[in-house]
A and B are shown apart, each in its own frame.
Chain A
């Protein structure tokens, strides 16, 4: 079964810390991987999309890496701020997935204290 796992489920850090969120997937045959942010009761905001041929993508204080061989992606957040508090979701498109559906992890809920 093609699954996506995110560890830890929750993370609390003081403002200013650099942090890493982890995502693992069960099959290295992926098309791409997308990181999202979700605020409580809201929809998903796309943060970064990494194609299978890429190793990393950067946007501002965010950097996402992809290692297909080990089935892992990380989202690095530099100099965290209270406004970064949200749930971060990782989603994968597998190559042989019928249709083009994203398979999501359960997310990591981040709390940044001031």
Chain B
């Protein structure tokens, strides 16, 4: 068990481009979360999966954002038509059961130029 894995660790993109991030949760964890963290702030919830079902989406998740978790394993977070305001650390977390201890990955740092 290597923990929660995120790829890439860093991404620099031009405004208007699309980007996709990947998260591999801890293998026996069926709950998967995406959070966004900006400098000096705590992480903010974006969306949540139980197995392959996306059960909750924050109002922060605009129409340009989409997340998937095919087959209830890894998850992807796509941002279309990136804006400078999307620059942030995108964190993935998983837990073994509902409201259980959350384990986070190392995050993907997105910079939109």
Contact = CB atoms under 8 A, between A and B. Distances in A.
Classify the secondary structure of A's interface with B. strand
Nearest to A41: B109
A31 interface: yes
A44 interface: yes
B91 interface: yes
Contacts of B28: none
A103 B102 CA distance: 12
- Give the residue among B48, B98, B102 with the most A Cβ atoms within 10 A: B102
Contacts of A46: 101-104
Interface residues of B, number: 27
A4 B43 CA distance: 12
Contacts of B91: 43-44
Contacts of B33: 101-102
B85 interface: no
Interface in A63-114: 89, 91, 93, 98-107
A32 B98 CA distance: 11
Interface in B29-79: 31, 33, 35, 40-45, 48, 55-56, 58
Interface of A: 4, 31-32, 34, 36, 41-46, 49, 89, 91, 93, 98-107
* Chain A to chain B: the 3 pairs with minimum beta-carbon distance, closest first: A104-B42, A99-B56, A101-B45
10 contacts: A31-B99, A49-B101, A89-B42, A93-B99, A99-B48, A99-B56, A100-B98, A100-B99, A101-B56, A104-B44
Interface of B: 4, 6, 31, 33, 35, 40-45, 48, 55-56, 58, 91, 93, 98-99, 101-107, 109
